[in-house]
């Protein structure tokens, strides 16, 4: 029941919301996994956002959350009570790319 092109549209949205170039955004969509949210197995979604430098404060994540909820409710047809978002701040040395870590890119 996922809309076609969901991963691509989430990639573009995440880049815009987080202020990152699309080349630095990775999106994985997994459907069909058993999930219970708030005690209910009705359709739901979980978004995990990990990023360097832009998800480290409550104020940042409140802004990001509102925008991600707008995208997810529109794309998935779910109410906000059926979506949860988890934010994880990362350090540049925690992400490997091109045989090094982001610290050196």
- List domains and CATH numbers for the chain: 6-17+41-104 (3.30.429.10)
| Cβ-Cβ contacts under 8 Å for 96 (sequence gap 6 or more) | 102
| Cβ-Cβ contacts under 8 Å for 21 (sequence gap 6 or more) | 15
Cα(105)–Cα(101) distance, rounded to whole angstroms? 7
The continuous run of DSSP H or E covering 102 comes out as none
pTM of the predicted model as reported, rounded to 2 decimal places: 0.93
φ and ψ of 69, to 5 deg: -60, -40
pLDDT values of the chain reduced to their tens digit, one per residue, 105 residues: 799 999 999 999 999 999 999 999 999 999 999 999 999 999 999 999 999 999 999 999 999 999 999 999 999 999 999 999 999 999 999 999 999 999 999
Q: For position 32, what pLDDT does the model report?
A: 92
Q: For position 101, what pLDDT does the model report?
A: 97
Q: For position 56, what pLDDT does the model report?
A: 95
φ and ψ of 32, to 5 deg: 80, 5
CB atoms closer than 10 angstroms to residue 10: 20
φ and ψ of 52, to 5 deg: -95, 120
Q: For position 65, what pLDDT does the model report?
A: 98
Q: For position 1, what pLDDT does the model report?
A: 75
Report the relative pairing of strands 100-101 and 96-97 from DSSP bridges.
Answer: antiparallel
């Amino acid at each position: 029941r996922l809309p076609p092109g969901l991963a691509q549209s989430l990639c573009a949205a995440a880049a815009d919301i987080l202020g990152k170039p699309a080349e630095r955004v990775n999106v994985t969509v997994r459907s069909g996994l058993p999930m219970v949210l708030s005690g209910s197995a009705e359709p739901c979604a979980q978004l995990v956002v990990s990023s360097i430098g832009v998800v480290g404060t409550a104020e940042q994540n409140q802004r990001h959350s509102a925008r991600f909820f707008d995208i997810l409710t529109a794309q998935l047809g779910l109410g906000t009570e059926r979506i949860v978002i988890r934010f994880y701040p990362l350090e540049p040395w925690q992400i490997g790319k091109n045989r090094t870590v982001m610290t050196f890119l």
